[in-house]
Amino acid sequence: MLIKYAKDKTTYITSDGSEIYEALNPKNDPVDIPYSIAIARVEPFASTKEHFLLHTEIYYILKGRGKITVGDDSSEAVEGDTILIPPRKNQFIENKTSKPLEFMAIVSPPWCNEIDFLTIQGSL
């Protein structure tokens, strides 16, 4: 069993501008799992920068609401919604409310810097 205690968590700002807490990632934790889990936070009236991953990503909205754009498709997402983001699809999420937006990001294979790219000129 592995427990990562909330009191010990550290966060950082990613290249897309969101605040991230890596809950589980085999590159940092003594776990043998084929995915990583992070908790992301987007401040009120902010958005992540447009970016894409080389791997599949899933967002699960924990708190708040946002507008998610994946490729040419956009949709509102609220607490409890799940979004599948295919590999190599441009993506960003906007928080147009006065409360923070928090979501779980699951990446398979696990997330690492080498698979995360900011979008240049709006497309891959």
Write the pLDDT tens digit of every residue in 85-97.
999 999 999 999 9
Give 66-87 pLDDT, tens digit per residue.
Answer: 999 999 999 999 999 999 999 9
Cα 33 to the chain's mean position, in Å? 18
Give 2-35 pLDDT, tens digit per residue.
Answer: 999 988 889 999 889 999 999 999 999 999 999 9
pTM for this entry? 0.89
- For the chain, the structural domain boundaries read 11-118
120: confidence class by pLDDT, cuts 50, 70, 90: low
Distance of alpha carbon 84 from alpha carbon 60, whole angstroms: 9
Tell me the CATH class for 11-118.
Answer: mainly beta
Cα 55 to the chain's mean position, in Å? 12
CA distances from 48 to 2, 8, 13, 101 (A): 31, 25, 11, 11
Residue 100 main-chain phi, psi, to 5 deg: -60, 150
Task: Tell me the two tokens of residue 44.
Answer: 């009120």
